[in-house]
Chains A and B, each alone.
Chain A
């Protein structure tokens, strides 16, 4: 489903989401109009987007009836930023029974969101000059209705106008707030808050509390909340079976108990993550689709939540090499995010980065680069140039350029990302290890092996200190280091590192996870270098089988493994 556009959408599509009597912002706005006397009052209305504003205006016209008339002033960005002030000051509203002057803009295409925000900003900056004049000229209510994302911009662009607001009314559809995800009685909330404070991170403690609730009627939602918590605690400890069992039970319980849909969404996402980590991709996909259905049904197909759901599902499809299926989902998520948050929002940057990764996998490098550069530009504008989010942006772009065989362009970006994270987190932080791992990869391919080795060693030490010696993050560095040691012909050391990586990953993800296949591939190549062809063949065949199962036959990783196997078989034939 495409994101709504002015031609394909109408306010009828979102009308069911607005249960007016339940929307506090709406009630307060009505109160304001009822209580305000005939003097000037300036109110600001925020709603998720221009469609919602159009709906609010339509409804306001319907309910005001004889008590108030509504005079709409349409802000047209094409007429220039001055047009808003000019039109407002030209209104000749009567002093007796003045109408509500309602200012808003028509909905625009998602691509124009950023442009529209700029137009509003300029118009508000100009309007700010006329605060005094507006106060003198208007005798009744003046309402300015803007998309919610404009609130900060409004405050900065028109501080004088903001300072004379009589009220700010945020009108959002019921159910979009995450404040009440789990409808629990107060004492149960208090119980959960206490657990938050005392949280030891140990799932056994939480499960012991959960056990006390089993079989007690009416406590199902609280039990589900505890199991959800225990599941995530187990996930943090890489205890996948416990995590899976807890989250599956939590998901069933919440569905039976009819808990708030957002709660079900949360559990489904967490469960999918666990299933992904254990290479149970089909069931992971099932829960991600469930999660998406929940948000589309409850928050709407064009909601921010739906965008996140689409993104999550797309990530799984991408990781299992179903790029053609993943891409439209990510693009839809992106369109929704642009519409809901505005084109310059950091969430848009995240989706762009994810889309770039997908395009990178699909070998559409230039498209990927465009996405990453746009994401980076959004993040720079939002966070400044020294923020850790920018380090992520630099790192992603650096890795892409590295893949595009542009190491000269990539290296400064990877070094900059490292420098930011070192400055922000200190030299012993695991994120610094990630940056070192990336930089080491680049140095290895540009044949600066000594420097690359230093990077990998530093990364290894950090990860071991942070996570302990059996964590997948440690295995990732061991794999890279093993590969490098093979290149420097230290085969024994290399083998021990790769075997250690293999043991860790098999323990963490099971025997058939694609991360296991990557190590098998490297280990196979190493053994081939050592002339241990039979062992190498067995490992490469296993790597190929896992990779084909995970990614299908045409994935670059599958091709690499297949080529390695062919090379080995050729070498064997030549040796015979």
Chain B
């Protein structure tokens, strides 16, 4: 629906509300899609595409970005681009197979990788692999090699049983099952690897035989970046992911396949040597200079994001007449408050739709919306405020010797957009503009409170 004229104000707001969903990955060609990263020098998606095309036979690629940067949407774009170039692309969501707050072990990972590939191939080709599906194959392998796991004592080939599904569910949900499996496979990692690679080869051949026009197979393994430790824990998840990527890198590579993994942005602090991660940066609205000089290209991009959601006609109806230069000042105010964060901008726009009592909306609606979002960002303790102050001051996260706690905090800041990761030339960080003043205010208040609180309670 793009013709908005017949709508009354309420219907118009309802229409806008439906176009401002905060967590809905967009498919290529969606009119709401704004190419945030294509305009940048070194579009990460294009670079991965080029890498795959040049590597021809097989390749290993990593894509990363903070929460809400649009990784999945960009992966969909990559999928489309690769398909246009003649590749067959299989997509899987790691969270369908892994719990994000549980440490991952190499044996689990290999099984999940092959299992998710198996299910995605079935879905993509619309076929049922039955006994040839990976889960069933692997249960049979366990049975044939005499490995018995508590709760999985039925051979998969027994008719009427769905032990493959049972295996997959137990692997994800039952810690004792996972633990027992790890222990029993610990000395058989080579065999597991062979099983997995054989299956990938089987799957690849199956794809290419049914898709003769395809030149190669690409597997996009999404959401691996969601693996993280809850704040206040010992960092076991981060350690396990780090071990996986540092010590088992060769296992992430599958012969004759192109693999793309989304990996956590905090990995760069733990594994600075992992230099081939393509990063989706925040849209830059200011430069990395002392005054944070306005960066016009970023503003243009964000204005286009808004225009796509509202349409040119809707912009005026909703925000009032633009200036002579064609600028909607209230849009710019919201863009500024978003800090260049795409999802925050959508969130802000959506909330103005809730708050609007008449159209066009007023600046008080915009300010109330911004204040409300600011509440969600405000640091809750002095430790956070001090760390954020340091980031704003040095434009760096300064984690030379990252502890589990500092890593969790930085991850938390990046995830919650309190801290933003940007790039021009080199990578830099800054504190979200919504809370920059608050951070300073908290520190000032603390200082004043210390001076005032001259007597013990």
A contact residues vs B (CB 8 Å cutoff): 24, 28, 31-32, 34-37, 39, 125, 128-129, 131-132, 135, 151-152, 155-157, 159-160, 162-168, 170, 350, 353-354, 357, 382-384, 387-388, 392, 395-396, 399, 424-425, 429-431, 434, 438, 473
Q: Is the CB of B67 within 8 A of A129?
A: no
Instruction: Check if B454 sits within 8 Å of A354, measured CB to CB.
Output: no
On chain A, the residues within 8 Å of B99 by CB distance are 129
Contacts of B415 in A (CB 8 A): 159, 163
A430 to B, closest residue via Cβ: B454
Contact A156 B372 (CB under 8 A): no
CB distance from B412 to the nearest CB of A (A): 6
Task: List residues of B (215-261) whose CB comes within 8 Å of A's CBs.
Answer: 223, 226, 228, 230-232
Known pairs A128-B101, A434-B455, A434-B456 / 17 extra A-B pairs, C-beta < 8 Å: A28-B351, A28-B354, A35-B14, A35-B353, A35-B354, A125-B101, A125-B230, A128-B100, A132-B96, A152-B380, A159-B228, A163-B22, A170-B375, A353-B457, A429-B450, A429-B451, A473-B454
- Chain A residues lying within 8 Å of B343, measured Cβ to Cβ, are 163
Asked if residues A37 and B230 are in contact (CB atoms below 8 Å), the reply is no
Q: Tell me if B126 is interfacial: C-beta within 8 Å of chain A.
A: no
Whether B80 is near chain A, meaning CB under 8 Å from some CB there, is: no
Q: How near does chain B come to A345, taking the closest CB pair, in angstroms?
A: 11
Residue from the list A165, A384, A425, A438 in contact with B22, Cβ < 8 A: A165
| Chain B positions near chain A (C-beta within 8 angstroms) | 13-14, 17-18, 21-23, 67-68, 93, 95-96, 99-101, 223, 226, 228, 230-232, 343, 350-351, 353-355, 368, 372, 375-376, 380-383, 412, 415-416, 450-451, 453-457
Residues of A within 8 A of B351 (CB): 28, 167
Query: Which chain A residues lie closer than 8 Å to B96 at the CB level?
Result: 132
A35-B354, A159-B67, A383-B382 known; A434-B416 Cβ under 8 A: no
**A132–B101 CB distance below 8 A:** no
**Residues on A with beta carbons closer than 8 Å to the beta carbon of B381:** 382-383
The interface residues of chain A lying within 8 Å CB-to-CB of B350 are 166-167
Residues in B neighbouring A350, C-beta threshold 8 A: 457
Query: Are B354's CB and A157's CB within 8 A?
Result: no
- Could you list 20 A-B pairs, sorted by A, with CB under 8 Å? A31-B354, A37-B18, A39-B21, A131-B95, A132-B95, A135-B23, A156-B230, A156-B231, A157-B231, A159-B415, A160-B100, A160-B226, A163-B67, A164-B22, A167-B351, A170-B372, A170-B375, A383-B382, A383-B383, A396-B457
CA distance A135 to B223 in the complex (A): 15
> What residues of chain B lie closer than 8 Å to A384, measured between beta carbons?
383
CA–CA, A353 to B96, complex, Å? Answer: 49
**A160 contacts across to B, CB distance below 8 A:** 67, 100, 226
Q: Closest 9 A-B residue pairs measured CB to CB? A: A164-B23, A156-B231, A35-B17, A152-B380, A31-B354, A353-B457, A395-B456, A28-B354, A430-B454
Question: With A35-B17, A388-B450 known to touch, is A163 a contact of B23 (CB < 8 Å)?
Answer: yes
Chain B: minimal CB distance from A437 (Å): 10
> Which A residue's beta carbon lies closest to that of B416?
A155
Q: Select from chain A the residue with minimum beta-carbon distance to B373.
A: A168
Bound: A39/B24 CA distance, A: 11
Q: A132-B95, A156-B230, A156-B412 are in contact. Are A168 and B380 (CB under 8 A)?
A: no
Query: Once the chains are docked, how many angstroms separate the CA of A128 from the CA of B229?
Result: 12
CB-based contact A431/B457 at 8 Å = no
- In the complex the two chains form, is A168's CB within 8 Å of B101's CB? no
Q: Is the CB of A35 within 8 A of B101?
A: no
- Contact partners of B230 in chain A: CB under 8 A: 125, 156-157
Contacts of B383 in A (CB 8 A): 383-384
Contact, CB under 8 Å: B17 / A36: yes
What is the bound-complex CA distance between A24 and B14, given in angstroms? 19
In the complex the two chains form, what is the Cα distance from A392 to B454 in whole Å?
10
CA distance A425 to B448 in the complex (A): 11
- Nearest neighbor of B102 in chain A, beta-carbon distance: A129
CA distance A431 to B231 in the complex (A): 33
User: A431–B100 contact, CB under 8 A?
Assistant: no
Report the Cα distance A44→B380, complex, angstroms.
18
B340 to chain A, nearest CB (A): 17
When distances are taken between beta carbons in the complex, the residues of chain B under 8 Å from A438 are 456
Residue of chain B at shortest CB distance from A386: B383
Say how far B69's CB is from chain A's closest CB, in angstroms. Answer: 11
A425 close to B450 (CB less than 8 A):
yes
Q: Determine the distance from Cα of A155 to Cα of B205 in the docked complex, in whole angstroms.
A: 45
Bound-state CA distance A359–B455 (Å) is 19
State whether A35 touches B13 (Cβ < 8 A): yes
* CB-based nearest A residue for B99: A129
